[in-house]
A and B are shown apart, each in its own frame.
Chain A
Amino acid sequence: AIQLTQSPSSLSASVGDRVTITCRASQGISSALAWYQQKPGKAPKLLIYDASSLESGVPSRFSGSGSGTDFTLTISSLQPEDFATYYCQQFNNYPLTFGPGTKVDIK
């Protein structure tokens, strides 16, 4: 199975900061990667699909990049509602594994 690692596992940031989260796959997955945001007690929400495509309705401050094994989720200017846990997921091979998550909290 393809393993996904995320870094950092957690970070503290301030409103207005630029935040970057990295997801690395154990083998190449082309662009078959999605990013999700999850808030406590809520279902995950799709932010980015196919590594860099913004899901409809998601603010443009979110962006994704990468292909192969290294991927990045960037929040250009962190907003109060962005404090959450972020997960990547690969769709190249079954099982469709998730990364361990990155928790973004308030500095």
Chain B
Amino acid sequence: EVQLVQSGAEVKKPGESLKISCKGSGYSFTSYWIGWVRQMPGKGLEWMGIIYPGDSDTRYSPSFQGQVTISADKSISTAYLQWSSLKASDTAMYYCARLLKPDGGGMDVWGQGTTVTVSS
């Protein structure tokens, strides 16, 4: 079964760092782009960025460039999203998802989501 499994919910204080993960299985992890999507409470979907685990080619949305870092470790089929200094406004659900095709098409496999709560 093709799946993406994300790390568990996190509760952090402003200024703390965080790295959440997304582990792929059931397919060739290095052959598909993996994207990250933010959903703030009660709001819509926001595309944050994407990485190709095969060569770590990464693209960011201008809205998130410099705010987060996307990385991948192909040896363990895992992609990451990290923050160096969290803000309260980072409180959201974060999803990883696989691109159906190299040129996009759609995001066909989604992780279950990781809830991040940032509060003093």
A residues near B (Cβ < 8 Å) are 1, 32, 34, 36, 38, 43-46, 48-50, 53, 55, 87, 89, 91-92, 94-101
Contact = CB atoms under 8 A, between A and B. Distances in A.
B24 interface: no
- Per DSSP, chain B at the interface is strand
Interface residues of B, number: 27
6 contacts: A43-B97, A44-B110, A49-B100, A95-B47, A96-B35, A98-B46
A89 B107 contact: yes
Interface of B: 35, 37, 44-47, 49-50, 59-63, 95, 97, 100-101, 103-108, 110-113
Nearest to B6: A43
Contact of B63 (A38, A53, A95, A100): A95
B108 A96 contact: no
Given A1-B62, A96-B50, A55 B111 contact: no
- Per DSSP, chain A at the interface is loop
B107 A87 contact: no
B106 A55 contact: yes
A26 to B, nearest CB: 15
Contacts of A98: 37, 44-47
Contact of A46 (B50, B59, B106): B106
Contacts of B97: 43-44
Contact of B105 (A43, A91, A97): A91
Contact of B108 (A46, A92, A95, A101): A46
A28 to B, nearest CB: 15
